A and B are shown apart, each in its own frame.
Chain A
Amino acid sequence: MKTMSRKMMRIRWIALLLGAALALPAPAAPESFDFKDPKNGNKIEFKLDAPAEKIAGTANGISGTVTFDPQNPGATRGKIVVATASLTVPNAMQTTIMRGNQWLDSAQYPQITFEAKELKNLQTNGDSTTADAVGTFTLHGVSKELTIPVEMKYLKDKLEDRLGGNQKGDILVITSTNFSIRRADFNIMPGQNLDKVADTIRLTLGVAGASPK
């Protein structure tokens, strides 16, 4: 009778422990965010201030994937891709010239990419993390190591609010408001037309990726 009671107790303990283990929340896994925005709201702005002319435009042909772990933002890795043919300035003729073979040559180099390999100087405050993203920037067929200051905002369960319908999921917003490149570094008409087309290109990034569930 005593043995039976001990066995019952053991079974109860095991059941209790199993129940407790199952009730614990599972550790969050890294999520994969797709940056091809169905609302077409992602954009990169570019500005060139030459002595004789200012040029400003945007690119909205954004795609790419970023893996982000809200518990470990430092492990963020991924690639953002910009379609060269989506770079647009308000003047149609300038847009055609900019995409043409003398400048960006969108036919031969259809993509501009940044692949993040490491995050440095991380600072996390709630759902927001700022960091310096170190990675490879490829433009006009030339790849260079580049450090971009970024802010990542994790919006849990906000995908439904954004897209409507019943699409559950999370959003990752990545912004960068202060980085620049030199066109000469990427072999884009180096040293030419500097009075009208500045060498320094200031870039601003604002993109949102979705991780549906």
Chain B
Amino acid sequence: MKKALRILAVIILLAAVGLWAAKGANPGWTINNIPHETMDPVTGLSGVTYEKGFIPGWDFLAVATLMAGVMAGASFLFRNKKAEN
């Protein structure tokens, strides 16, 4: 159990960092409304439309790190298996 929790903590941390990096390593807050600029050729004005999406930010990394930390911490509550003689 102890080992499983530690492995899970590492997997969560690596998966979160991997996803964050793969989605563009956004240093700001997580983006759920992705803005798209549109240009009106007649008026010359640029408009914005929003599309639902997910680009993880630093808050996503913080939550993932916290979860991994909790799991790693919880692993200390379990005792090591004693080696059988």
Q: What is the interface of chain A, defined by CB distance below 8 A to chain B?
A: 39-43, 54, 58, 60, 88-95, 153, 155, 158, 161-162, 171, 173, 175, 206-208
CB-based contact B32/A91 at 8 Å: yes
How many A-B Cβ pairs are below 8 Å?
62
- Judge whether B83 is part of the interface by a CB distance below 8 angstroms: no
Which chain A residues lie closer than 8 Å to B57 at the CB level? 91
* Assembly CA distance A89 to B28 (angstroms): 12
- Judge whether B35 is part of the interface by a CB distance below 8 angstroms: yes
CB-based contact A60/B40 at 8 Å: no
Which chain A residues lie closer than 8 Å to B32 at the CB level? 90-93
Which chain A residues lie closer than 8 Å to B42 at the CB level? 155, 158, 161-162, 171
Given A41-B45, A91-B33, A206-B46, 18 more pairs with CB closer than 8 A: A39-B40, A41-B38, A41-B47, A43-B45, A43-B46, A43-B47, A54-B28, A58-B48, A89-B33, A90-B34, A91-B30, A93-B32, A94-B29, A95-B33, A161-B42, A162-B42, A173-B44, A208-B43
- Judge whether B85 is part of the interface by a CB distance below 8 angstroms: no
- Judge whether B31 is part of the interface by a CB distance below 8 angstroms: yes
Q: How far is the CB of B25 from chain A (nearest CB, A)?
A: 16
* Assembly CA distance A43 to B43 (angstroms): 13
Instruction: Return the chain A residue nearest B34 by Cβ.
Output: A90
Instruction: Return the chain A residue nearest B29 by Cβ.
Output: A91
